[in-house]
A and B are shown apart, each in its own frame.
Chain A
Amino acid sequence: MHNFTPIPSLAGGILIGLSASAILLMNGKVAGISGIVDGILRPVKGETLWKSCFVAGLLAGGVLLKIFLPNAYDFGVVRPYSMLVVAGLLVGFGTRLGNGCTSGHGVCGISRLSPRSMVATATFIATGAIVVYLVNHVMPGSL
């Protein structure tokens, strides 16, 4: 198991938890990123301002990372464009059909002990693992 980084990963996870907690305790909302992005692309009255501000914060944080922690963008694996486009369509469509992604289901929902989020998280980790198995071990030469 190389590349194992438990300490920074735990620290980053705590920051993610604190951010989502602030959204819950201050604003009363769930910090689900796919829902937040959806709320900007397809605006719903009363939801667009806070969602836009959150995404602006993500981008501002992204700029801070670029300046102070540039290896956050050391992607390591960059799939071909055709694959990235298919993946993006699956992620966009799938998160809306299933009402959530890693943040909404994987963090917020599991913490609330929501059965829907537990099943969703188990499902997306399982299909993610199957796809990685296929791409890395069944047809690695095709990339």
Chain B
Amino acid sequence: MKTALTSFISGIVFALGLGISGMTRPIKVIGFLDFFGSWDASLAFVMLGAIGVYFIASRLSRTMRSPILASGFSIPKRTDLDARLIAGAALFGAGWGLSGFCPGPAVTALASGATPVTAFVAAMAAGIYLHGWTATSKTSGSRERAGALQPTTDA
């Protein structure tokens, strides 16, 4: 139950971070991606702040035998580059640039009650299921879901 509480509080802090940083505003995201227009570098500072803190936490975690509330770390270990990684990132980036939303800010902004956000999140859920179906039809369902239990995926 303690891990559930940690997750809930972390979710709140994450959402506040997204809101304060400007990530919940597509104009900021699109401004960051608009390198050939009036570029808004703000989101580089979001990454700087987040990576700066998490870099230290990541180093710290390597000195720990286990996390404070669980029996082990579940961290991706893959280092190979494959076509799925690059194709997936490319498709995601296209959708991100098109809308100005990525998953975290979109879920957070559901609380705004704005219908366009709801439409985006519904389509995102459909995209996740669509991937599940294509992956299942290729691998008979076993490899994908078994893979999800092991620390082999990135996120």
Which listed residue (A21, A99, A137) contacts B154, Cβ 8 A?
A99
Taking a contact as CB atoms closer than 8 A, the residue among A14, A45, A123, A125 that contacts B53 in the complex is A14
Tell me whether chain B's interface is mostly helix, strand or loop, or mixed: helix
Q: What is the bound-complex CA distance between A119 and B84, given in angstroms?
A: 12
Q: Interface residue count for B (Cβ, 8 Å)?
A: 124
Q: How far is A78 from B25 in the complex, measured between Cα atoms in Å? A: 9
Q: Are B23 and A88 in contact, CB atoms less than 8 angstroms apart?
A: no
Q: Are A111 and B103 in contact (CB under 8 A)?
A: no
Interface residues of B in 70-108 (CB under 8 A from A): 70-76, 78-81, 84-104, 106-108
With a CB–CB cut-off of 8 A, which chain A residues contact B127? 88-94, 96
**What distance in Å separates the Cβ of B33 from its nearest Cβ neighbour in chain A?**
4
Known: A11-B21, A64-B15, A65-B108. A88 touches B122 (CB 8 A): yes
A12 engages B20 (CB within 8 Å): yes
Q: Is the Cβ of B155 less than 8 Å from the Cβ of A123? A: no
Residue of B16, B38, B90 near A15 (CB, 8 A) is B16
Partner of B11, one of A57, A86, A97, A101: A57
- For A60, the chain B residues whose CB sits under 8 A away are 8, 11-12, 15
CB-CB < 8 A to B128: which residues of A? 34, 37-38, 41-42, 92-93, 95-96
Chain A: residues with CB nearer than 8 A to chain B? 1-6, 8-35, 37-39, 41-42, 44-47, 49-51, 53-66, 69, 72-79, 81, 83-112, 114-117, 119-121, 123-133, 135-137
What is the CB-to-nearest-CB distance from B154 to chain A, in angstroms, rounded to a whole number? 4
Main secondary structure of the interface of A (DSSP, over half): helix
* Complex partner residue of A126 from B79, B93, B129, CB under 8 angstroms: B93
B89 to chain A, nearest CB (A): 4
> Contact at A15–B54, with CB atoms within 8 Å?
no
Q: How far is the CA of A58 from the CA of B103 in the complex (A)?
A: 11
Contacts of B3 in A (CB 8 A): 26-27, 49-50
Q: CB distance B153 to A124 under 8 Å? A: no
Least CB distance, A78 to chain B, in whole angstroms: 5
Q: Is B145 part of the binding interface, using a Cβ–Cβ cutoff of 8 Å?
A: yes
Known A-B contacts A2-B38, A69-B20; the reply to A105 vs B8 at CB < 8 A is no
A111 to B33, CA, bound (A): 21
B114 contacts across to A, CB distance below 8 A = 73, 75
CA distance A1 to B11 in the complex (A): 32
Complex CA distance for A11 and B19, rounded to whole angstroms: 11
A10 to B7, CA, bound (A): 23
Shortest A35–chain B CB gap in Å is 4
* Contact, CB under 8 Å: A116 / B42: no
Instruction: Knowing A26-B67, A72-B20, A117-B154, say if A107 contacts B101 (CB, 8 Å).
Output: no
Give the distance in Å from the alpha carbon of A45 to the alpha carbon of B146 in the complex: 10
